[in-house]
């Protein structure tokens, strides 16, 4: 007997990065492939005969309680996605320099998820193995599927162009990586700041207080971000993706690495036990505690092996095109 096709209502939490990459892009591809799927505006839960609600970031206690009642009333199944640590895991959550911390009550979220998440979620998807481990306190392992962050081919395929060989660095991280208000370096080590002090650095969006940018590009809408990122990196050699060694960062994905591979520029990444960039080429890793002399050596070596690293990055990306892996979502959304 042929299995009946599910009727899915995809509800992103927002139209920012997590909603775009984890819900909107996969939903659009699934629609193109013939899935019976409606894509709702962010946080709009509506019932048009769907039997699966596919949403994300169900953390807040009051929201979880309402959604459990909604589920009971509509008799739907729920698939819930998570891509950031917004609850307590090993006693930690968002670091103190992450300015989103003021909007996230990790203690309350933990209590609410412990009470309601298992009742709400029939299946859970996460972006990393570490996030999966953090959720085992709330739901059984059999419910959780790891689906790494991926890039849509239509949005992120770019023609490659030669690098300028000028040792120009590009940083496009959000204000979650540093604290301009309380002057905290966050994911930047003091040695990295010192090293970049006499380098040309291009910054996108809000600029860290400790960097004097050569160019400060405006923030982009997500509809133009991939194209803007490609244009803005034509005159740079290295994209920098620093992360401090903490539980929150261990739960993060390697999305910036994928984006760098797509635009054909070497990404210099932080390396520590459990880093999301553990799969990067060894010549582009910056070990925790690296001195300014060590940073100079790493950049010089990366320059010497630039083409080798680029090839490695692109082979890494080729396994993570969303279009080729959409079956991971189809399998969960049965």
Backbone angles phi, psi at 36, to 5 degrees: -85, 90
Contact 57, 116 (CB under 8 A): no
Q: Which of 147, 173, 195 is the last residue of a domain?
A: 147
Predicted pLDDT of residue 3:
61
Cα-Cα-Cα-Cα dihedral sign, residues 332, 123, 69, 54: negative
Encode pLDDT of 181-225 as tens digits: 999 999 999 999 999 999 999 999 999 999 999 999 999 988 899
Q: Is residue 132 part of a domain?
A: yes
Cα-Cα-Cα-Cα dihedral sign, residues 96, 248, 329, 257: positive
Task: Please tell me which residue, 271 or 1, carries the higher pLDDT value.
Answer: 271
Does the pLDDT of residue 37 top 50, yes or no? yes
Encode pLDDT of 232-259 as tens digits: 999 999 999 999 999 999 999 999 999 9
Predicted pLDDT of residue 17:
82
Model confidence, pTM: 0.95
- Residue 255 domain boundaries: 153-318
On average, the pLDDT of the chain sits at 96
Q: Say if residue 174 is in the same domain as residue 138.
A: no
CATH code (residue 203): 3.40.50.2000
Q: Is residue 282 part of a domain?
A: yes
Of the candidates 69, 66, 65, 67, the residue with the CA atom closest to the CA atom of residue 54: 67
Does the pLDDT of residue 165 top 50, yes or no? yes
d(C-alpha 154, C-alpha 324), whole Å: 12
Q: Is residue 327 part of a domain?
A: no
d(C-alpha 254, C-alpha 52), whole Å: 29
Q: Say if residue 223 is in the same domain as residue 141.
A: no
d(C-alpha 168, C-alpha 303), whole Å: 12
Encode pLDDT of 260-294 as tens digits: 999 999 999 999 999 999 999 999 999 999 999 99
Q: Say if residue 201 is in the same domain as residue 241.
A: yes
Q: Say if residue 179 is in the same domain as residue 256.
A: yes
Q: Say if residue 161 is in the same domain as residue 128.
A: no
When pLDDT is cut at 50, 70 and 90, the band that residue 15 belongs to is: confident
Mean pLDDT of 320-325: 98
Strand, coil or helix: what is 214?
A: coil
Of the candidates 131, 124, 123, 200, the residue with the CA atom closest to the CA atom of residue 167: 200
Cα-Cα-Cα-Cα dihedral sign, residues 226, 228, 231, 235: negative
CATH code (residue 49): 3.40.50
Length of the chain: 334
Predicted pLDDT of residue 223:
87
Q: How many domains does the chain have?
A: 2
Q: Say if residue 120 is in the same domain as residue 162.
A: no
Q: Say if residue 102 is in the same domain as residue 163.
A: no
Encode pLDDT of 59-102 as tens digits: 999 999 999 999 999 999 999 999 999 999 999 999 999 999 99
Predicted pLDDT of residue 1:
42
Q: Say if residue 297 is in the same domain as residue 197.
A: yes
Predicted pLDDT of residue 46:
86
Helical H runs in the chain? 17-19, 25-32, 61-74, 106-120, 129-135, 153-156, 190-196, 222-232, 247-250, 255-263, 292-304, 306-318, 322-325, 327-332
Question: Could you give the angle at the alpha carbon of 170 between the alpha carbons of 184 and 18, nearest 5°?
Answer: 75
Does the pLDDT of residue 117 top 80, yes or no? yes
Q: Say if residue 197 is in the same domain as residue 297.
A: yes
Q: Which of 147, 168, 200 is the last residue of a domain?
A: 147
Q: Say if residue 110 is in the same domain as residue 166.
A: no
C-alpha atoms less than 13 angstroms from C-alpha of 142 in its C-beta half-sphere: 1
Q: Which of 122, 147, 172 is the last residue of a domain?
A: 147
Predicted pLDDT of residue 16:
78
Task: Please tell me which residue, 3 or 137, carries the higher pLDDT value.
Answer: 137
Strand, coil or helix: what is 125?
A: strand
Q: Say if residue 312 is in the same domain as residue 254.
A: yes
- Token output for 184: 């905290």
Q: Is residue 90 part of a domain?
A: yes
Q: Say if residue 48 is in the same domain as residue 121.
A: yes
């Amino acid at each position: 007997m042929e299995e009946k096709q599910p009727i899915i209502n995809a509800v992103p939490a927002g139209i920012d990065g997590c909603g775009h990459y984890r819900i909107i892009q996969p939903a659009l591809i699934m629609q193109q492939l013939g899935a019976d799927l409606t894509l709702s505006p962010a946080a709009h839960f509506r019932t048009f005969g769907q039997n699966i609600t596919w949403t994300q970031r169900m953390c807040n206690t009051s929201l979880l309680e309402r959604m459990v009642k909604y589920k009971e009333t509509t008799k739907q199944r729920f698939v819930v996605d998570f891509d950031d640590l917004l609850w307590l895991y090993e006693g930690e959550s968002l670091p103190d320099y992450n300015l989103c911390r003021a909007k996230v009550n990790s203690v309350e979220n933990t209590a609410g998820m412990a009470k309601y998440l298992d009742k709400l979620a029939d299946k859970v998807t996460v972006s990393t193995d570490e996030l999966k481990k953090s959720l085992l306190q709330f739901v059984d392992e059999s419910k959780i599927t790891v689906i790494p962050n991926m890039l849509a081919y239509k949005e992120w395929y770019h023609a490659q162009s030669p690098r300028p060989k000028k040792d120009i660095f590009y940083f496009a991280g959000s204000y979650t990586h540093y604290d301009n208000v309380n002057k905290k370096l966050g994911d930047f080590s003091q040695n990295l700041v010192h090293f970049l002090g006499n380098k040309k650095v291009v910054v996108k969006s809000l600029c860290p207080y400790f960097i004097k940018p050569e160019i400060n590009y405006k923030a982009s809408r997500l509809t133009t971000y991939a194209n803007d990122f490609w244009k803005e990196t034509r005159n740079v050699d290295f994209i920098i993706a620093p992360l401090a060694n903490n539980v929150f960062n261990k739960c993060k994905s390697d999305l910036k690495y994928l984006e760098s591979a797509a635009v054909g520029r070497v990404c210099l990444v932080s390396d520590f036990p459990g880093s999301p960039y553990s799969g990067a080429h060894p010549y582009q890793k910056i070990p925790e505690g690296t001195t300014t002399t060590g940073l100079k050596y790493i950049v010089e070596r990366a320059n010497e092996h630039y083409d080798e690293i680029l090839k490695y990055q692109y082979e890494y990306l080729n396994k993570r095109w969303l279009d080729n892996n959409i079956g991971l979502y189809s399998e969960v959304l049965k």
